[in-house]
A and B are shown apart, each in its own frame.
Chain A
Amino acid sequence: MKINLPPYAGPAQWLWYFGFRGFCIMVLIFLMLPLLIIIPLSFTSTPYFVFTHKMLTLDPAGYSLRWYHHLFTDPSWMHAIRNSFIIAPIATLIATILGTLAALGLSRSHMPLKQFISSLLILPMVVPLIITATAVFFYFSSLHLVNTYIGIIIVHSILGIPFVVITVTATLAGFDYQLVRASQSMGASPWYTFFKVTMPLVMPGIISGALFAFMTSFDEVVVVMFLAGPEQRTLPLQMWVNLRYNINPTILAIATLIILLSVVMLLTLELLRRRNARMRGLE
């Protein structure tokens, strides 16, 4: 970054220039600090959550893969990881299919009650999670859906739906229906048009909605806390239990891996955004 000040700038301008940038950089550090701390600390060789003297002097003895090893050998952690990778993809699939269909309907100009219905579909995001969890717990306890995988999957799909509806509707908002007409005028069947013209253009929206839905389920702990028995314990719930009852740095190891997963997701989203912009000729 080069300094972008006119040569005649007075001390007040200098102070403002650096003060403002300094403040912004502090805010960025504040945002990133928790992530930056956790990664090195996950390689600690002690069972404590502190940077030991050995770690600070970069002594190799201060570092180890002990907690990663523990993570991958401990049956309860492995069970939780497996559960999360069962529940999140299924919930994502349900949310994506239902959400995409609804968004296709909502973006048609003939859709009745458009505003009202889209506000209804956004509500699961607005109602506090704790309320959703409580309400569903009351409701499911009479349907015998507490302590089942299916109960958790249903609620996680509900939580993911608003994201899919929002992203797909946004993608469709810029969609040029002339393309559909062009395709049909040249003799393509509606299905062929859908899969060859509509889908590729809407796909980035669907995928980013699905990613949001996946992360929502993958990160969700409140609903799971109410609905899961020991059998259904997911990764966030296992982390929660670890934090509450037997805290040890294994949680830092899994946290680092989750940060890595977030980086991958973020890169995917960015690539999608660029592809989307390119296809519409915006770049």
Chain B
Amino acid sequence: MAATSPETLTLEGGADLKRALRRTERRRRLGAFSLTVPLLLFVLVFFFLPLFKMFWLSIANPTIPEYMPHTVQALRDWSPSTPVPEAAYKAVAEDLKHARADHTFGRIAKRLNEEQPGSFTLINKTAMRISRVDHGPWKAALIKIDKAWGEKPIWRLLKRQSAPFTADFYLASLDMKYNQQGQIVQKPVYDRVYVPLFIRTFWMSAVITLLTVLLGYPLAYWLTALPDRTSNLLMICVLLPFWTSLLVRTTSWIVLLQGHGVINNVLVWAHIIGDQHRLKLIYNQFGTIVAMTQVLLPFMILPLYSVMRGISPSYLRAGISLGAHPARAFWKIYMPLTLPGIGAGGLLVFILSIGYYITPELVGGQSGQFISNMIVYNVQQSLNWGLAAALGTLLTGAALVFYLIYNRLVGAGKVSLG
């Protein structure tokens, strides 16, 4: 009865106007959305799926379930406080015989060794010798090959590794491990690698961010105060480095800072330091901080500059004319107005710097390395992809937290690009 109701307007053909409008609206929304579909799909398939796969690798633990299925089965109901049943010994013997025939025992050995050093030899040795034994009792046979089979730790490890998912890689990323009793403990101090590296990455990034504020703020202020012609000219000095290849700039810092580099040579030439006492300016934290500050400084100056340009100088003049000392007027009036710029630039610099790889790798030496250098090491050299994935996921999480703050503060997509 809608057509006869007085509140409802009808179109000529008798169609409901509201519905027609809704349909048009829906079509328009669909039209706008469909323009973004190709890009969304592209980004989904080639960016978000890889990230998801990395997260997957950081928790997946397929080795033991795949290559030692009988052991997994036999240990299902075993609890570490009870003696290991003969069935489990039989299962291990069977699985390792298969693994030897399929040449997969190396993978088992590698995976177990990542969690408990020494397992590599144990598995290889057992896989070699057990093939020659064709009847039980298996417990005695295995213990004869290696006494370790008579003790709990290897069984606890196998039981733990039977699960298809694991927190092991995250434990390793946080410098923790299982002890002989199967409890989670911190690694001894000399063995901790990643937590100190995370801390170093964060505090060096904080120092770099602070330096960019200290150097960038006065410069951005000066650029806004200058007449347009001059400030445009000086702006080139900010934009040109911004546009110049990162590798080029890092190369240049090597030329400048190395032992026989430009700065040391100038200092020696000016007799400020002796030829024997050249300063060690590179391949340490100092080198990383100097080079990264220069590289990231434009990312601070550009947002600051755009915020400062929007602040009318009359506020400051009003404050001074009302009797405030210029310094006080600046601190109480101008500074608070520029806080969004400091926040935006600071977060941008910080987010970029916690993920830096190239500069620390080239100029950082041993003490100037970041967590990203260890991620690359685990991908390319130690081939522990699970650990690399866990470290990567943690770093991504940190970057995303700061991005969310940035979003709140500045708004998505409102990144100033100069």
Contacts and interface: CB of A to CB of B under 8 A. Distances in A.
A101 B51 contact: no
Contact of B240 (A102, A119, A263): A263
Contact of A31 (B32, B46, B260, B298): B298
B234 A28 contact: yes
Interface in B232-260: 234, 236-241, 243-256, 258, 260
Given A37-B252, A158-B47, A239-B251, A134 B238 contact: no
B121 interface: no
A121 B396 CA distance: 16
* Size category of the binding interface on chain B: 35 or more
- Interface-central residue, B57, B262, B388, B417, by most chain A CB under 10 Å: B417
B46 A136 contact: yes
Interface string A105-121: 11010111001011111
Contact of B248 (A38, A49, A166): A38
Contacts, number: 259
A236 B245 contact: yes
A251 B216 CA distance: 30
Contact of A105 (B33, B54, B236): B33
Contacts of B355: 127-131
B206 interface: no
Nearest to B227: A1
A49 B43 contact: no
Interface string A167-192: 10100000000000000000000000
A272 interface: no
A35 interface: yes
B263 to A, nearest CB: 10
Given A122-B413, A126-B351, A110 B31 contact: yes
A41 B260 CA distance: 14
B83 to A, nearest CB: 41
Contacts of B250: 243
22 contacts: A20-B222, A24-B222, A32-B240, A33-B256, A37-B256, A37-B262, A98-B39, A101-B38, A102-B36, A125-B415, A131-B355, A131-B392, A134-B389, A135-B50, A165-B413, A166-B413, A215-B243, A219-B245, A236-B245, A243-B247, A255-B245, A258-B245
